[in-house]
Amino acid sequence: MPDSFEHTPTVAIRMPNGALTSLAGNVDAHHEVSVADLVLAQSAVRQTVEQLVRGLRAGCGRTIGHDLPARDGASAHRAHPLDATRGVCRRRRLRPEPRAAGMDAPGPRRARSCAGEDELTFRELLRALDQKRPLSSVAGLWFRDRDGFTQTPPRPVTAVEHDTIAPPKRSARVLSGYTMLGRQVDVIETSRGCTFDCSFCSIIEMRGRNFHRFPIRRVIADIADARRRGARAHASSSTTTSRWTSSASGRSARPSSTRVSPTWTTWCRG
């Protein structure tokens, strides 16, 4: 995912994609997962992908002809970054059949695409492929078959209050150097969903009008994990952070108990 927005120029902000590590943290434990946020390599996407995949093969004693990684994919809001990555993989025979995860509906050339929230759908997709089950049994999926593209029934919005979503797996990252104004930065997810009507945002269309808070103990543990891995600035990805903090103020476990003293930034309303 090498794209960035004009209000987050990479000269000052190179934020990691929290969705990638969340995907890595929610697959079954027997899978070995590596993730790379290509915002760190906007000017060298092809070379970086080639180097990473060849490095994975070398680390496992495999040659280019061997099937490693067994599956690959990309996360993107638009088709262009995904198509670029897939084109590299196919032209260089690094991997013939990519899988995709992202918030947009699949384009005509994608093999499989998870729509909406990806963690549970992606895990079920891997299980179906491992067990050779029909992909039609996986909710929230677009996939291509001999008759064209098929869309399975949508997956319900995930209520995250009961540890349905496992914490992110930051150890799966194979690139480093994510910074904000010169400080190492990481993303902390405190909630999902929104109830507002901002015209520039697609959350309501994707999830409906709802709001779910992650358990406070999970958020505190996530902050501590990011801190242990070197983060000195944290960005909250919640669209309505004040709702989470107002709930947290009445609980016994508060973020101050982590003693991490982070620098915070947030994008939210309310």
For 169-191, write each residue's pLDDT tens digit.
999 999 999 998 889 999 999 88
Over range 69-95, report the average pLDDT: 57
Report the half-sphere exposure of 181 (CA within 13 A, side-chain side): 7
- Separation CA 94–CA 117 (nearest Å): 28
Looking at the chain, the whole-number percentage of residues with pLDDT higher than 70 is 66
What is the model's pLDDT at position 64?
A: 43
- Separation CA 74–CA 166 (nearest Å): 20
11 in any annotated domain:
no
Phi, psi torsion values for 47, nearest 5 degrees: -65, -40
Residues 83 and 26 in one domain: yes
89 in any annotated domain:
yes
Q: What is the 3-state secondary structure (H, E, C) of the chain?
A: CCCCCCCCCCCCECCCCHHHHHHHHCCCCCCCCCECCHHHHCCCHHHHHHHHHHHHHHHCCCCCCCCCCCCEEEECCCHHHHHHHHHHHHHCCCCCCEEEECCCCCCCCCCEEECCCCHHHHHHHHHHHHHCCCHHHCCCEEEEECCEEEECCCCCCCCHHHCCCCCCCHHHECCCCCEECCEEEEEECCEEEECCCCCCCCHHHHHCCEEEECCHHHHHHHHHHHHHCCCCEEEECCCCHHHHHHHHCCCCCCHHHHCCCCEEEECCCC
Over range 8-34, report the average pLDDT: 89
Q: In the structure encoding, which two tokens stand for residue 254, read together?
A: 């508060």
What is the model's pLDDT at position 194?
A: 85
Residues 81 and 144 in one domain: yes
Kindly report whether the global pTM for this prediction surpasses the value 0.85.
no
For the cut 60, the answer to whether the pLDDT of residue 38 exceeds it is yes
Residues 139 and 234 in one domain: no
- Separation CA 239–CA 14 (nearest Å): 20
Residues 145 and 186 in one domain: no
For the cut 90, the answer to whether the pLDDT of residue 237 exceeds it is no
Domain containing 208 equals: 178-266
Judge contact between 123 and 27, C-beta under 8 A.
yes
Residues 97 and 211 in one domain: no
Q: In the structure encoding, which two tokens stand for residue 185, read together?
A: 């930065």
Q: What is the CATH number of the domain that holds 199?
A: 3.30.750
162 in any annotated domain:
no
What is the model's pLDDT at position 42?
A: 83
Q: In the structure encoding, which two tokens stand for residue 130, read together?
A: 């491992």
Query: Residue 108 corresponds to which amino acid?
Result: P
Instruction: Please give the residue that has the higher pLDDT: either 182 or 253.
Output: 182
Residues 200 and 255 in one domain: yes
Residues 146 and 193 in one domain: no
Residue with tokens 């319900």: 156
What is the model's pLDDT at position 66?
A: 46
Residues 102 and 43 in one domain: yes
Query: In whole numbers, what is the pLDDT of the chain averaged over residues?
Result: 76
Query: What's the domain count of the chain?
Result: 2
Judge contact between 100 and 22, C-beta under 8 A.
no
